[in-house]
Structure 1
Amino acid sequence: MMNYHEYTLKNNKITVKFLDLGGTLTHFSTSDDEKNCIIRFKELDSYEVNRGFLGANVGPLAGRTENALFEVAGQIYHLDQNVPPHHLHGGSLGLNKQRMKVDIISDTHAILTNTTDYTETGYPGSTTTTITYKLVDNSFTITYNVIPTKPMPINITNHSYFNLSQEDTAKGHDLQVPSNYVVAVSENGSNTDTFIPVSNTVFDLNQFNNVGNLLVQEHPQFKMTRHIDHTYLLSNDHEIVLRHLGTGKILRIHSSMPATQIYLANYFDGSLTNEHDKPILRNCGVAIEPQHIPNEINLWNKEIYDQSHPFHETITYTLTHI
């Protein structure tokens, strides 16, 4: 990975490492054992392509934008179809591909900035993105602030895959997501305007559910997604919890955003290699991606931002032992 650098933030409770390539996260651990709780590539060069978006900050539009287009103020914008026919996670020149200027404020605080002209991939204009990383005790907070030059939809999140055990799969984990509805996915894989009640379905994560138990359950939606890869509408209690009783580790995630994508890593096939020199397998971890509803610009014409109304959101990850 020519000319890219890895940075470390650390206090006496947690350690975080990231790249100036999009601010991609490469390491998140408790400081007492330093065992990485996110899936990481063995070689840093793999992050330049980053199949699977490991640890990536994704945008300007996270998720699938249906048919790679949207309309703002009566004008239709055609985006690049990096996953035909859709535009996925900001496209071929998305935030995860951009070099960030990194200012290390202290051992526990960094500010990353970038200005990118996204018109080449179909967006209305440029964005100036500021990402702040800050550690306080056992918590790691990401703050996103994005100012576009022209009105446009924005939806940014982090796409880390969490595995608290360093085992080959996340089957030994328990997951809890406070939500009564998930967004139905169409046959072409994009979000629709239909909400599925989670009650009495595999999607119900209001109480802790074992990931291994989830993976043996079926739903008609899985014809499109292989398993859970859905947007959950968060209820008033926005705390998402992932735990692994074997290691005693527990991850709590709070966000200012109204939804989260839950993805059980359904498409890994062992062709990529992790930091332990092992193949990255299907269901290797749990991607928990707090965000706005992907594709909502095409569903409800929502979440349009401009210079007077920038995108400003936070995600806080708290990693402890039970």
Structure 2
Amino acid sequence: MTPVDSVSVTQAPFGILPDGQPVSVFTLTNRQGMQVKVLDFGAIISEIHVPDRDGSFADVVLGFDRIEPYLANGAFLGAVIGRYGNRIAEGRFSLDGKDYQLAVNNAPNHLHGGNQGFHQVMWQAEPFTRDDAVGVTFTRSSPHGEDGYPGKLDVTVVYELDNDNALSLRYHAVTDQATPINLTNHSYFNLAGQGTILGHEVTINADRYLPVDAGSIPTGELADVSGTPFDLRQSTIIGDSIALPHEQLRIGRGYDHNFVLNKQADHGLNLAATVRDPQSGRVMQVYTQEPGVQFYSGNFLDGSQPGKLCANSYRSALCLETQHFPDSPNQPHFPNTILRPGQVYQTETVYRFSAE
């Protein structure tokens, strides 16, 4: 790929769902030749092509080149996650004096919205182009009772690629009844485009993280990262830190923890994390308005669903899921995740790519 004269968005068939609905792939291209491919099924990011230090492009996210594997997307590759990203203990919470039971799809807990979730549904897609950016606006209405959640939730997710190789994800939602909400994207990144991420270097702007119990539910403690493998405030080779002896790394089989981000501003975008691949020179910076980021080092990828980038094997990619904290509906000292009628849920995350 080489720089192009103008931005563009194209639409093409990607497959057919079992109920006969056609799935489309939208290809976003900016003036630098960077491309992002997104599906209207699950609002999935299926490909991101970015250049290395020599200008050679590679696809840096896990995914599939046909629709069928996405129908059994147990790893949630590239999808929008909702209504609630991450885990809710035993799938239970109480809200305004009423108890709710959600699907237990990650025994004994509820994970990433349940058995259907936002990752297994069709979204309405509207592509757009401007001189400085190109993108797709995805919308859907989640009915009352979907996956056990109360209230009808109207959701908009905008993917926008600008000419500086930054991919913005903007989320917006309103409800007619109080409901938990914690939207995120579950893309898996490998900046080398091959191999594992153990040689990648990561920096996370967090003085504290959330230790978890044996079921990966936060204990409630906001623990200091100092002197632990979770001190990623300076650039750290993942393969070095993940091998250190620590009970939390044993529980997660590696990193699968939420970091409490240091905030430089009350409402603006803050630098949450930076990932570098020394081999290719590719760099990804993650900016967000969210209070936390889940760093997941691909510990449960097992190669059982080979993808278009690699075998989707153990630690072949990492996730940086910007979000509110896991199990917040059951932990009132965590930042609030309850959206009420008349309120607007609105948040933004940006993945900015470069090379050095």
**TM-score (normalised: structure 1):** 0.96
Q: CA deviation at 1:257?
A: 0.5
Aligned residue number for residue 286 of structure 1: 318
Select which of 296, 311, 314 maps to 2:345: 311
Equivalences for residues 218-297 of structure 1 within 5 A: 218-237=245-264, 238-239=270-271, 240-276=273-309, 278-297=310-329
- Structure 2 distance, partners of 1:275, 1:303, is 35
Query: Matches of residues 29-44 of structure 1 in structure 2 within 5 Å?
Result: 29-30=49-50, 33-44=56-67
Amino acid at match of 2:150: P
Distance 2:38 2:279 in 1: 27
Deviation string for 1:267-310 (max 9, x for gaps)? 1112120214x422111111000111111110117221023112
CA distance in structure 2 between the partners assigned to 1:218 and 1:48 by the alignment: 37
Distance 2:135 2:45 in 1: 14
Q: Is the 8 A contact 2:242 2:249 kept in 1?
A: no
Q: Which residues of structure 2 form unaligned runs of 5+? A: 1-14, 17-21, 265-269
Summarize the Cα distance change of 1:120–1:248 in structure 2 as closer, same or farther, 3 Å threshold: closer
RMSD (CA atoms): 1.5
Q: Give 3-state SS (helix, strand or coil) of 2:41's partner.
A: coil
Moved more, 303-312 or 34-43: 34-43
Partner SS state of residue 5, structure 1 = strand
Mean CA deviation greater in 202-211 or 191-200:
191-200
1:271 maps to a residue whose letter is S
Pair 1:51-2:74 in alignment: yes
Partner Cα separation in structure 1 for residue 311 and residue 161 of structure 2: 31
1:230 deviation in Å? 0.2
2:311 and 2:80 mapped to 1: Cα distance? 23
**C-alpha contact (below 8 Å) 1:43/1:275 kept by paired residues:** no
In structure 1, distance between residues paired with 2:65 and 2:136: 24
Q: Note the C-alpha offset of 1:126.
A: 1.9
1:1-322 alignment to 2 at 5 Å?
Answer: 1-2=15-16, 3-13=22-32, 14-30=34-50, 33-106=56-129, 108-137=134-163, 138-237=165-264, 238-239=270-271, 240-276=273-309, 278-300=310-332, 302-322=336-356
Name which of structure 1's ranges 198-207 and 34-43 shifts more when overlaid on structure 2.
Answer: 34-43
What is the DSSP-based 3-state SS (H/G/I as helix, E as strand, rest coil) of the residue aligned with 2:58?
coil
141-150 or 217-226, which deviates more:
217-226
SS of residue in 1 equivalent to 2:211? strand
Alpha carbons of 1:118 and 1:162: their partners in 2 closer, same or farther (altered >3 Å)?
farther
Contact 1:249 1:320 in 2 (8 A): yes
Distance (whole Å) between structure 1 residues aligned to residue 146 and residue 238 of structure 2: 40
Unaligned runs of 5+ in 1: none
State percent identity of aligned pairs.
27
Q: For each residue in 1:165-221, what CA deviation from the matched residue of structure 2 results, as whole angstroms up to 9, or x when unmatched?
A: 022210121000010111011122212211221111111100000011122112111
Question: Shift of residue 72 of structure 1?
Answer: 1.0
Question: Partner amino acid for 2:126?
Answer: D
- Matching residue's letter, 1:254: Y
Q: Higher mean Cα deviation, 204-213 or 214-223?
A: 214-223
Counterpart secondary structure, 1:184: coil
Instruction: Work out the number of aligned pairs and report it.
Output: 321
The TM-score normalised by the length of structure 2 is: 0.87
Asked if 2 retains the 8 angstrom alpha-carbon contact of 1:168 and 1:280, the reply is no
In the alignment, the residues of structure 2 paired with residue 281 and residue 9 of structure 1 have an alpha-carbon distance, to the nearest angstrom, of 28
Equivalent-residue separation in structure 2 for 1:135 and 1:88 (angstroms): 29
